[in-house]
Amino acid sequence: MCEITKTLTIPVDGKKTDFRLTKLDAFSGASLLRMLSHLPAGDDFLSFFSTLPDEDMRWLMTVCLEHCEVLLPAGWNPVMTRGEWSWIELEHDVATCLKLTIEEVLWTLEGFFGGGASGSQPGTPDS
């Protein structure tokens, strides 16, 4: 059985924070691939994000952040639920939200193109 979750650690407000990502479902993943098909060969994610229309960027970030959880003292808590912030601390943290979005995209597509691991510090893999 393939792994559909992964844990990674990234800093939030200077403090190492654990996040758990769940791969996107097949429909969201297919939509993501359709978006990426418009990326010219050789371009990177920064240029991809800069060319996305606002509504596509909002969709992509929302879908990705709805598949992210943060480890709090009480346990795992979703970052977003149904397009609303569940962990309010990230609402104005553009850098962390973009980092989580990129990590989610890379995690979902890992293996699809024959590789492509992220540069984040890995945590303990979940299944």
Mean pLDDT score, 48-67: 90
45 with 105: CB under 8 angstroms?
A: yes
Q: Give residue 35's identity as a one-letter amino acid code.
A: M
**What is the structure's pLDDT at 127?**
41
Q: How far is CA 61 from the centre of its chain?
A: 8
pTM for the full predicted model: 0.81
What is the structure's pLDDT at 114?
A: 56
Segment 10-20 mean pLDDT: 95
Q: Which long-range contacts (CB under 8 A, 24 or more apart) does 32-41 make?
A: 32/60, 32/63, 32/105, 32/108, 32/109, 33/109, 33/112, 35/60, 36/109
Report the pLDDT value the prediction gives residue 71, as an integer from 0 to 100. 97
pLDDT in tens, 66-97: 999 999 999 999 999 999 999 999 999 999 99
Q: Tens of pLDDT along 24-42?
A: 998 998 888 888 777 666 6
Q: What is the dihedral of CA 89, 60, 19, 42, to 10 degrees?
A: -120
pLDDT of residue 53: 86
